Amino acid sequence: MPAITQWLAPVLSPTPRSLRRLALAAVIADTVIMSTGAAVRLSASGLGCPDWPQCSAADIVASKNAGQTLLNTWIEFGNRLLNLPLVVIAALVFIAAWRYRPEDPAEPGHPGRRRRHLVWLAATQPAGVVAQAAIGGIVVLTKLNPAAVSVHFVVSASIVAAAVALHARCEAADQAGQDAVAPGPPVRPELRVLTAVLAAVTGVMLAAGTVVTGTGPLAGNAAAPRYKLPLEGVTQLHADIGWLLGGLAVAIVIGLRMSPAPPRAVRAGVIMLAVLVSQGVVGYVQYFAHLPAGLVWVHVTGSVLVWIAVLRLFFLMGRRAAAVPGPVAAAPRRQPEPLDR
């Protein structure tokens, strides 16, 4: 029992640091499920389990189904099983956020009020799992309708965004509790606006990417429905959005390096640009290589990493993340922020 209590301490008696780690676990879990979901589609395994919530009308677990190989069935069923650890992580994140009540400054030694914005951000994780289970069922029952698959991916990206936001809030408070910290220089307002535009364009690019996949040969098996759109046209649109995104990213990084911006924001900008350039290279290689499934999977997974990198920069550019810790000779030790702003 003491071991269990100790293991649950970060959840039952959370701190900004333990919340931050739980939020990071949620980001990682959400990314993994999006990546494996892409593998399901690109391997034509989306109907490996033709029923929902059972794998088939006759079996709850994976078994050979008509028109599907056993490998296809296990790829789809394995992806469904990954929802189990996802549910656990989502529940732990929500419980920790609900129980987080920092000391009331007006009454030392007494817990303060619950931080509702953290609770709402954390609630997106279990709520998202439930919503995605329902949407996944619709995807299967509509035989991989491309619009349903697109919604499935976009909702997953929204869940990732909430987890990144929660991590950023907790990271700012955790950093504020370190020894001898002092606020760094603020980010210029125009760079914050430009980063918000960057995040919005990235969201549009993710949605456009689902249309490209839903139009092309890797939308599922030969019988799977597809968007009735010209593949070359939607691919060109997706590429154009990517170039716009690249231009914005370069402008932001140059602006950060030329202004007295916090070092952590500059590093996040450089990392974001590196991830984005790598993603662009993979995108062009997979296109001219005639869309091999493995490279397309790398590209889809890379799109999630781009999304996370852009969102991390966006939240670092905000008011909370602008105060970046740095050494100050005579500064006293500060307590972690109560996450109330």
* Residue 325 exposed, middle or buried by CB count within 10 Å (0-12, 13-18, 19+): buried
Q: Does 339 map to a domain?
A: no
One domain, residues 187 and 168: no
Q: Does 215 map to a domain?
A: yes
* Residue 99 exposed, middle or buried by CB count within 10 Å (0-12, 13-18, 19+): middle
Q: Does 341 map to a domain?
A: no
**Tokens at residue 284, please?**
């062009």
pLDDT recorded at residue 9: 77
Nearby residues of 276 by Cβ (< 8 Å), 6 or more positions away: 245, 246, 249, 306, 309, 310
Cβ atoms of residues 303 and 279 within 8 Å = yes
Tell me which amino acid residue 139 is: V
Q: Quick one: three-class SS letters along the chain? A: CHHHHHHHHHHHCCCHHHHHHHHHHHHHHHHHHHHHHHHHHHCCCCCCCCCCCCCCCCCCCCCCCCCCCHHHHHHHHHHHHCHHHHHHHHHHHHHHHHHCCCECCCCCCCECCCCHHHHHHHHHHHHHHHHHHHHHHHHHHCCCCHHHHHHHHHHHHHHHHHHHHHHHHHHHHHHHCCCCCCCCCCCCHHHHHHHHHHHHHHHHHHHHHHHHHHHCCCCCCCCCCCCCCCHHHHHHHHHHHHHHHHHHHHHHHHHHHHCCCCHHHHHHHHHHHHHHHHHHHHHHHHHHCCCCHHHHHHHHHHHHHHHHHHHHHHHHCCHHHHCCCCCCCCCCCCCCCCCCC
Among residues 234, 240, 186, which one has the least CA distance to residue 213?
234
Cβ atoms of residues 125 and 159 within 8 Å = yes
pLDDT recorded at residue 179: 34
Cβ atoms of residues 73 and 82 within 8 Å = no
Domain boundary among 174, 191, 221: 174
Containing structural domain, residue 38: 8-174
pLDDT recorded at residue 89: 96
One domain, residues 257 and 323: yes
Phi and psi at residue 111, in whole multiples of 5°?
Answer: -65, 140
Per-residue pLDDT of the chain (341 residues; tens, 9 = 90+): 566 667 777 787 788 889 999 999 999 999 999 999 999 989 888 888 888 888 877 777 777 665 677 888 888 888 899 999 999 999 999 999 998 876 565 566 555 566 788 899 999 999 999 999 999 999 999 989 999 999 999 999 999 999 999 999 888 766 655 433 345 567 888 999 999 999 999 999 999 999 999 999 988 878 889 999 999 999 999 999 999 999 999 999 999 999 888 888 899 999 999 999 999 999 999 999 998 999 999 999 999 999 999 999 999 887 443 333 333 344 444 555 555 54
The total of structural domains in the chain comes to: 2
One domain, residues 52 and 144: yes
CA distance 78 to 192: 41
**Tokens at residue 314, please?**
């966006």
Q: Does 258 map to a domain?
A: yes
pLDDT recorded at residue 308: 98
Q: Does 250 map to a domain?
A: yes
One domain, residues 162 and 258: no
One domain, residues 18 and 161: yes
Q: Do you know the residue count of the chain?
A: 341
Domain boundary among 117, 150, 174: 174
Domain boundary among 174, 200, 223: 174
Cβ atoms of residues 237 and 245 within 8 Å = no
Cβ atoms of residues 141 and 292 within 8 Å = no
What does pTM read for this prediction?
A: 0.86
One domain, residues 132 and 235: no
CA distance 290 to 332: 60
One domain, residues 85 and 142: yes
pLDDT recorded at residue 341: 46
